[in-house]
């Protein structure tokens, strides 16, 4: 299943946040959204997930989700949204409870995502016993459990320290390498974008428009911290954003 954004525009009251945004999200790719603060990245993600409807334009799904997909679109947020009284396994089971699955199928799904996210030995732990990185890994496992056609990730690593962020980037790359998935990934971190993105969409400052789309033609598994090609792409992105990021920062200070 592909996603197609056609001429989307939106305002909140008198504030225009997005204008004439068109973009395609092809299956099997990770598309990263970057841009100055307030440019509408998270708003665009909500439109993709159907949480809001834009004032103008439309978001289309093209093709069918996989036959075994329980939720075609699923979110991973910055804050882990784990139920504190449920174990790791219980938090993952939560998203399966509204689906008519047999006990054996549920057990198989839970065991699979625990193994894929390296959480099997922590299945009985409560969230308070886990580090921030482990909590986010549970959130990712929970998203994978519904076999989504598209994962929508809204700054999922921004609350984590740099070492934990690098480990989880490695985890996401390993997950995609073993079984490619489609994702839209919102981030302020350009190093994350060049590490994960097959394509990186640069939005202008508010109202957000597509200023550029940068493709990174390097296999995800071959990318590493400090790679000169990735650093060159990161500089390219910053050169595209610098002036508008400074202008957006001045606007925010003035609010």
Ordered by start, the domain boundaries in the chain are 1-65+188-255
- SS3 of 51-111: the string is CCCCCEEEEEEECCCCCCCCCCEEEECCCCCCCCCCCHHHHHHHCCCCCCCCHHHHHHHHH
State which fold the 1-65+188-255 domain adopts. Rossmann fold (3.40.50)
- pLDDT over 90 percentage in the chain: 68
Instruction: Give me the mean pLDDT over the 183-198 stretch.
Output: 95
Q: Return mean pLDDT, the chain.
A: 91
What is the pTM (predicted TM-score) of this model?
Answer: 0.90
List CB contacts of 77: < 8 A, sequence separation 6 or more. Answer: 139, 154, 155, 156
Which band of pLDDT confidence, cut at 50, 70 and 90, is reported for residue 255? very low
Alpha carbon separation from 239 to 1, 32, 73, 212 (Å, rounded): 33, 17, 33, 11
Taking Cα atoms as reference points, which of 110, 117, 115 lies closest to residue 136?
117
Is the confidence at residue 46, as pLDDT, over 70? yes
């Amino acid at each position: 299943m592909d996603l197609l954004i056609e001429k989307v525009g939106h305002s909140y009251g008198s504030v225009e946040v997005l204008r004439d945004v068109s973009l395609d999200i092809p299956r099997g790719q990770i598309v990263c959204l970057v841009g100055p603060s307030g440019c509408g990245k998270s708003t665009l993600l909500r439109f993709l997930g159907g949480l809001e409807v834009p004032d103008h334009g439309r978001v289309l799904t093209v093709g069918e989700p996989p036959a075994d997909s329980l939720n075609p679109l699923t979110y991973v947020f910055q804050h882990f949204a784990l139920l504190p009284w449920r174990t790791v396994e219980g938090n993952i089971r939560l998203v399966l409870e509204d689906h008519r699955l047999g006990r054996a199928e549920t057990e198989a799904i839970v065991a699979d995502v625990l193994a894929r996210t390296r959480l099997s030995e922590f299945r009985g732990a409560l969230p308070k016993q886990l580090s921030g990185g482990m909590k986010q890994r549970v959130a990712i496992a929970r998203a994978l459990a519904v076999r989504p056609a598209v994962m929508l990730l809204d700054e999922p690593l921004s609350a984590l320290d740099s070492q934990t962020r690098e480990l989880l980037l490695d985890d996401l790359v390993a997950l995609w390498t073993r079984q490619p998935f489609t994702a839209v990934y919102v981030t302020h971190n350009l190093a994350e974008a060049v590490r994960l993105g097959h394509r990186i969409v640069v939005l202008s400052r508010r109202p957000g428009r597509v200023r550029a789309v940068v493709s990174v033609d390097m296999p995800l598994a071959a990318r590493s911290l400090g790679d000169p090609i990735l650093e060159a792409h990161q500089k390219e992105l910053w050169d595209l954003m610098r002036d508008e990021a400074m202008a957006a920062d001045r606007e925010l200070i003035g609010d």
